[in-house]
Structures are given as C-alpha cells and as structure tokens.
Structure 1
Amino acid sequence: MSYIIKFIYGFVLPPGIFVLFLLIVGILLYRRETLIAKLLFITAFLLYGCTIPLTGKLLIQSLENRYTPPSQIKGDVILMLGGGATLDTPDFDGKGQLSGNGANRLLTVLRLYKRTGLPILLSSGQVFSDSGNESEIAKRELLSLGVPKSKIFLENKSKNTEENTEFSKQLLNKNGWHKPVLVTSAFHMERAVLDFKKNNIDVLPYPTDYQTSRKLPLYANQFTPSTNGLAFLAAKEYLGIFSLQF
C-alpha cells in the first residue's frame, strides 16, 4: 500500500502533475489541433523520462562505475574536493556545516587518514555569498575529530573544479607532493581526474559518496516522476567531461 501511495503522489505533486497535465491537454486537443497535441505528448514524454528515478540512477551509475576505491593507498597526500556547505548553521563547535556530498567526502578522508597517516589537503572556498567556506569548515570538523592541525593544509579560494586543480597544484608543488589521493564523489570523479590530468597532475582516484547501489531492481517507484535531480546532476557532469575534451 505504501508503494501505491508513493506512486500516486508522484503524479499529484510536481513534476509528475505537469506530465499528467500535458497528457490530458494533449488528449483534449488531439482531434482539433493534432500537431500541438503531438508536441505536448513529446514534451510530456521527455519530462517524464528526465524525472523518473530510474533514468537518473542509470546515468549517475554509469559515472560512478568508472573508478573503484583502490585496495592499496599509494600516495603522499589526501586531497579532498569540496561538495557544498552552509554558511551560519549551528554546529558543535562553530557555525557552518558541510552538505551531504561534502560530509561523505570528509568521512572518507578521516578514515583514509587513520589508515595511512598522510597529510590532508582540503580544496574549496566559498562558492556563493550564502554558502560557507568549505575548507575552513572541513578543517574545524577534522580538528574536532582528532586530526592534528599540522596534518591539515588548506586551499580555500577555489569556486569550481577547474580552480580546485589550479590552486591545489600550487600547494602540491610547494610541499613536494607528487601523488595525491583524490577524494571526491564517485559521480564527480571522472571530470575531476580529467581536470587534474589537464594540469599534469597524476592522482590516485578514491571515489566516495555514491548516489546509487550497484544493483538497480525495478519497482513501481522507479518509474514515478520525482524531484531527486539525479538526471540533471549527471547531465552537468557529462557536459563538464565533454568540455574537457577540447
């Protein structure tokens, strides 16, 4: 029953209700305005296809499967890319918290540090006026989790992946690090690796923050329009990857 209710909700709330509206209008207009009706049907189909969870999961999974966490860590620094943060929300020992993507990356960094003892380079600044400085927040949280201050290095000015690479390279060269263990979300890893390669930096990819399971069973809610946004997230990554080919 709960699955049925969720399926119905998918067509009562946006974006499902827009798909339903386009279909109904298309049916009503079909005899009088066939061309317009067909355009409405096509639009409804495209909107439906872009907003069902299955589409987003398949697209994201194709990105997430390109790299797997290595069994052996052969690097000289752990390099984490930022993934979003709030500016002034309350935290245990200050203000501002990492978002879900950033927090998952930080958790992986902490575990890698405990396994290897490698220094940590945090790369990300304040992207928007209402978002926090991700590196500064991540540093505070790592310190509260027991990582020594001497092990944490900051690149806190970058606003995108391209700047992550450019500004991190300066600190890598300054400290004599040649093989960073790159930690970022699995869906973002392909684009990040290409950016670092473009700047002649050889990284060891360590993907984390997976958005999908390896197995994707089919059930009704996989075909219910949703606002999860995975398809659009994947599209952004594919566009970024495409742009790096030139």
Structure 2
Amino acid sequence: MLESLLMPPGGVLLVLLAGVLLWRRRLGRWLLACGLLAGYLSSIPASIGWLDRLVAPPPPLDVAAARASGAQAVVVLAGGLSGTAPEYGGVTLNVSTLARLRYGAHLARATGLPVLVTGGYRDRGRSAPEGTLMAQALREEFGISDVLVESASQTTRENARNSAPLLRARGVSRILLVSNAWHLPRAREAFAREGFEVVAAPTLYFTNPDYHAEPADFVPQPGAVYGVYYALHELIGRIVYRLRDGDVAS
C-alpha cells in the first residue's frame, strides 16, 4: 500500500494534490510544477531508456554460454499470479511468471539441468503458492520432470534464503538464475549473499541493447508508467538490500 502511494503514479498524484491545496503559497505552485513534470517524465517511453542505463540489466544468455557456464541447476523466480482467470478456475500464473518459466524450461532442456522454482504468494489465500503452480506447469505443460519446489518465500531475499537449503542438498553451488532483466541485478546479489555463484539468465527486457530515443518516445503512453514504476522499484530495492545486508563480497 505505502509503495503504491509513493511510487508513480500514486506519488505524482499526491504531489499534485498538495500543490492544489497549497496553491495560494509559493510552495504549492512549486509542488504543482514538480508534479506536472514528474507526471510527464513517468509516462514517456524515453524515461524507460534512461532508467535502463541506471538499472544496468545483464546481457542475454545464449544456449552455448549456458551449457559452458558450469551451472548445476536452473533457478526460476516467481513473478506473481493473475487473479482474473476464470478459465483456469480463478487464479493462474501471470504473464511475467509464465515468461520466466518458459525461458527456464528452455534452458533446462538445452542443458539437462534440474529446475528449482521459488515463490510463495497465494493471491489472498485463494490459490496454491506460486512455486506449486510453477512446478505443475513445468511438468504438465513444458515436460520438465526434475523440479524442486520452494513455496514459502514472499520476497526476493526470501527466495534466496529459502532456496539455499534445497540447492545445497543437491550439491548445487553454481546456478543459472532466471528472472526479468531489470529484476536480476537485485536477485543475483540476494543469491550471492547466500554463497552461490550466479550466472544471470534474463528475460523480458524493457528496451533493446541498442535503444536510442525517437521523437515518438517523448509522447506519453500508458505502458511507460509501469516501466518507470518497475525501474524505480528495482533501484530502490537494491539500495534497501545493500543498506540492510551490506555489499556482496567480490
């Protein structure tokens, strides 16, 4: 709730509201101007390109590099559920989780490695945990049988901590870590803090590596708001993790 209020577009609306309420004062007019500028910047695709440089997602991992990586398991992080899926009984894996799962299955088939899925969100208690649903999809829809399941974690930090014992029990110390490209820098640090060597296996990029802003990218678009929100979420999350857990040992 607090994050939704402070991050775009909620935070922008709060600044605009404060500006309107304090309009008769210089501070109010300043807040209104800042809110309008922030609202514009948080709604244009060009901002996603700028933020992409700050997030610095890892480069794509091809099959040859995955095979030569020395990894001993593929780890796929959950990305959420969709609670508006009556065709699946009400709740199913959302688009982000499915994309991660698809790429994880692709790597598992190419390398022959086992897969660990991790995530414990249950959509307000209406469904099985993410990890359980992910394992079911891997087995029934992607044909991957060697699957480990961690189904209690609620955060990226817990994904790493709760997965560690399962991986160590299989003698795993080096992993292919699958998640959204912007999420992987933070996720990689979380697993490194647990003592794992991590090979980033990103999917769902927001921009192409050779992205350059065009005039149309300065026109507000609905999808840009989510991209800006996601980038800020990851940048702030990385700072919080480092302040709480310290830097990762090199």
Measured against the shorter chain, the TM-score band is 0.7 to 0.9
Counterpart of 1:83? 79
Contact in 2 for aligned 1:83/1:101 (Cα 8 Å): yes
Q: CA deviation at 1:160?
A: 0.7
Contact in 1 for aligned 2:58/2:200 (Cα 8 Å): no
Contact in 2 for aligned 1:56/1:231 (Cα 8 Å): yes
Counterpart of 1:136? 132
Equivalent position to 1:230, from 227, 232, 236:
227
Q: CA deviation at 1:56?
A: 2.8
Aligned residues: 224
- 1:41 and 2:33 equivalent? yes
Q: Partners of 1:131 and 1:173 in 2: how far apart?
A: 32
Q: CA deviation at 1:130?
A: 5.5
Contact in 1 for aligned 2:119/2:152 (Cα 8 Å): yes
CA RMSD for the aligned pairs? 3.1
Tell me the percent identity.
24
Contact in 1 for aligned 2:58/2:202 (Cα 8 Å): no
Q: Which fold has the larger relative contact order, with Cα–Cα distance below 8 Å and residues 6 or more apart in sequence?
A: 1
Q: CA deviation at 1:99?
A: 1.2
**CA 1:213–1:67 in 2, change beyond 3 Å: closer, same or farther?**
closer
- Residues 9-158 of structure 1 correspond to what in structure 2 (within 5 A)? 36-60=28-52, 62-63=54-55, 65-70=57-62, 71-73=64-66, 74=69, 75-87=71-83, 89-90=85-86, 96-126=91-121, 128-129=123-124, 132=127, 133-149=129-145, 151-158=146-153
Q: CA deviation at 1:59?
A: 1.0
Alpha-carbon deviations, 1:35-82, whole Å to 9, x = none?
Answer: 643442222112222222221343135425434315422211110000
Q: CA deviation at 1:95?
A: 6.1
**CA 1:90–1:152 in 2, change beyond 3 Å: closer, same or farther?**
farther
What are the ranges of 5 or more consecutive residues in structure 2 without an aligned counterpart?
1-8
Contact in 1 for aligned 2:105/2:142 (Cα 8 Å): no
Alpha-carbon deviations, 1:151-209, whole Å to 9, x = none?
Answer: 01100111110100001101011111111111111000000111112221111111111
Contact in 2 for aligned 1:87/1:130 (Cα 8 Å): no
Letter of the 2:184 partner, please give it.
M
TM-score (norm 2): 0.76
Contact in 1 for aligned 2:51/2:228 (Cα 8 Å): yes
